[in-house]
Chain A
Amino acid sequence: ETGVTQSPTHLIKTRGQQVTLRCSSQSGHNTVSWYQQALGQGPQFIFQYYREEENGRGNFPPRFSGLQFPNYSSELNVNALELDDSALYLCASSWSGRNQPQHFGDGTRLSIL
């Protein structure tokens, strides 16, 4: 069974730039959720994708957007990067069903200069 994989592992960007983060879901999982984890905090829900459509969104501005592909993999795009966007971005996959446990990848560490 292949777990959740994320790329890249680390990324450095400057303010105003755009970034794309990628996630491959665990084998058989069709739902992908993205989280932002600031240093010393718990993960904060950004949004979830199911059947290639956004299926719930947390309190994040529209410059955070995503995609899900037919193979269930997903992308997180962030435009107009701000210093506060520096964080660990985590992807989690699960079976469909709202209370299914989510399995996380090791994240992408994004640093904004």
Chain B
Amino acid sequence: GQQLNQSPQSMFIQEGEDVSMNCTSSSIFNTWLWYKQDPGEGPVLLIALYKAGELTSNGRLTAQFGITRKDSFLNISASIPSDVGIYFCAGLRLITGNQFYFGTGTSLTVIP
């Protein structure tokens, strides 16, 4: 299957700091999604991206669809304790069908 590599694997930051994480692949993707998953719950959709170069914001979150179409980035500004969780990227390659491929996740811990 497709490999989506997320980095960093985990992050420990102080409350108020900005956060950056990314998702890379050797293949071109047509759609990128970013999700957050809390323990015991399903992933919650944060941002959807459809065009290379697209930059989309959702409150303190901003995500970009990489120009090469092989990567995507998620930034969180002014982190707060409730940002704690695991962040997943997911990509769709129309050429391979209907499935979204998920990354390995970035675990975020915010220290008050």
- Are B102 and A106 closer than 8 Å at their CB atoms? no
Complex Cα gap A56–B101 (Å):
13
A-side binding surface: helix, strand, loop or mixed?
Answer: loop
Q: Which residue of A lies closest to B103 (CB)?
A: A42
- Are A56 and B42 closer than 8 Å at their CB atoms? no
**What's the count of A-B pairs with C-beta under 8 Å?**
63
- Chain A interface category by residue count: 20 to 34
Residues of B within 8 A of A45 (CB): 99-101
Residues of B within 8 A of A79 (CB): none
Complex Cα gap A45–B1 (Å):
10
Residues of A within 8 A of B35 (CB): 104
Is B59's CB within 8 Å of the partner chain A? no
Q: A43-B43, A102-B33 are in contact. List 11 more A-B contacts (CB 8 A).
A: A4-B42, A42-B103, A42-B104, A44-B1, A45-B99, A48-B99, A90-B43, A98-B98, A102-B45, A103-B45, A107-B41
15 A-B residue pairs with CB within 8 Å: A4-B42, A33-B98, A42-B90, A43-B43, A43-B88, A43-B102, A56-B97, A99-B31, A99-B50, A99-B94, A102-B100, A104-B35, A105-B42, A107-B41, A107-B42
